[in-house]
Amino acid sequence: MGVSRRGFLGILGGAMAGATLAGGRANAQPPSSTSADSFGCLVDLSLCVGCRKCEAACNKQNSLPQPDRPFDDMSVLDTFRRPDADKFTVVNRHLVGGAPAYAKVQCLHCLDPACVSACIVGALTKEPSGAVRYDASKCIGCRYCMVACPFQIPAYEYSEALTPRVRKCEFCFERQMEGKAPACVSACPKEAMAYGKREDLLLMARERIRSSAARQVTASTEGAADAASTPAGDAAAGNGAAPLPLLPYIYGEREAGGTSWLYVASHPFESLGLLRLPPEAPPRLTEAIQHGIFKNFVPPLGLATLLGMAMYTLRGRKEKEQ
């Protein structure tokens, strides 16, 4: 009896261990779906002045409901906000060392998106253009995508009784197809955002970081002259002082496996409400385990075979009933 009991558990344990091992090997696979010339956006937060023009443009582009307070009401910035079912992007004001700093957030359009991997019916897809899109007609409303997103982006129309949708920025996919930049990007008066091939944007980001550092060196040698040339009242300059250099870090280059949207900033990203995340794309772990368990159906079939063999060989023990 002891033997067979252990046998039974051993079978299960063995199948699981096999699956996990297979998973470990599959872990090395590269992310699935990103084409080399997909698009992205580079947001230079040091240029953002918190005018909310991008919010207004996004609202109009996506025919979202009018907000209670208009987009030129800056008192909205007094509270920290997150994108929700009625707004796909928000700008928040953060106080860093007493000075205001602004950060626009929206879906980052991950290269290997957790939401896409999680979705039970494939209602979310990563397009070759870089956009992560949503098809409401497939969605069953399980909200697993919301559980999965490391940036906590997808929102849900909980108030809809019959046809609730997952809501999030879709990178203005229609505009992309027309060769246009996203509405929010085009609306920015400070040109704080750039739209283009992600590869190019990474180069651009590095170049900006380099030149801002160089400018800083010049600024400190040339003294007040440079600071005076900065237009007065430019919030990006921060209290009229020389602009801070960009930090030598591109947010989104690696976070959660990398994202199509990239950020540079002159303040630590965490102080601007951007999460510190590990470079692994979340789907790599779950998909490795899943595909390990299903690898050519070997583990389930193996378990079935073992059970069948146990059932057959032990049948002699069948006691008189039935």
Hey, which residues between 113 and 142 contact ligand SF4 (CB under 6 A)? Answer: 113-115, 118-121, 123-124, 132, 134, 139-142
Of 60-79, binders to ligand SF4 (CB under 6 A) are 61-62
Nearer to ligand SF4, 93 or 109 (CB): 109
Between CA 173 and CA 273 the distance in angstroms is: 26
- The torsion angles phi and psi of 199, rounded to 5 degrees, stand at -55, -45
When CB distances are held under 5 to 8 angstroms depending on the partner's kind, the choice from ligand SF4, other proteins, none that residue 74 binds is none
Tokens 């300059």 map to which residue? 237
Closest to other proteins by CB, 141 or 245: 141
Binding marks (x or -) toward other proteins, 124..153, rule CB under 8 A? --------------xxxxxxx-xxx-x-x-
Judged by CB, which is closer to ligand SF4: 195, or 244? Answer: 195
Query: Interface with ligand SF4 includes 241 (CB under 6 A)?
Result: no
Q: Which stretches of the chain are DSSP H helices?
A: 2-26, 53-61, 114-118, 144-148, 173-177, 183-187, 198-222, 224-229, 282-294, 298-313
> Which segments of 73-177 are extended strands (E)?
90-96, 99-105, 124-126, 132-134, 155-156, 166-167
CB 61 within 8 A of CB 175: yes
Rounded Cα distance between 18 and 306, Å, is 14
Q: Is the torsion defined by CA of 264, 266, 270, 272 positive or negative?
A: negative
Residue 232 or 317 having the CB closest to other proteins: 317
Q: Give which of ligand SF4, other proteins, none residue 319 binds (C-beta under 5 to 8 Å, depending on kind).
A: other proteins
Q: Which residues lie near ligand SF4 (CB under 6 A)?
A: 57-58, 61-62, 88-89, 106-110, 113-115, 118-121, 123-124, 132, 134, 139-145, 149, 151, 153-154, 166, 168-172, 182-184
